[in-house]
Amino acid sequence: MDSYIYTNWRGQQFVIDDSFIDDMKKRMSMDDGSDPSELADLTPELLMEMLPTMESIERYEQLEELWDGPVSQAAG
């Protein structure tokens, strides 16, 4: 079993291993109705490659929400 440590932009660390992947697949299936077979190829290695991009996209979307929020509208 391969195990990796991912450190996010806040310095939090997460162990990415087969158990983490299994839990993630279950959550995704329950949360958005994903077909588990669509997630069959997800591995710790693949997730480690994808996480920096996923995190960047999430941070960008959060910033957009802040820019579109009441503070930016009041300043405009």
CB-based burial label for 4 (10 Å; 0-12, 13-18, 19+): middle
Please state, in angstroms and rounded to a whole number, the distance separating the CA atoms of residues 53 and 35.
Answer: 23
pTM greater than 0.85 (yes/no) = no
The pLDDT, as a whole number, for residue 71 is 60
Distance of CA 12 to the CA centre of its chain: 13
Q: Where are the domains of the chain?
A: 4-75
Query: pLDDT tens track of the chain, all 76 residues?
Result: 689 999 998 899 999 999 999 998 888 877 777 776 778 888 999 999 999 999 999 999 999 988 887 665 555 5
Q: Sort residue 43 into left (φ over 0), alpha (ψ -120 to 50) or beta.
A: beta
The pLDDT, as a whole number, for residue 75 is 54
The pLDDT, as a whole number, for residue 2 is 83
The pLDDT, as a whole number, for residue 69 is 73
Angle ∠(47,39,3) on CA atoms, nearest 5: 35
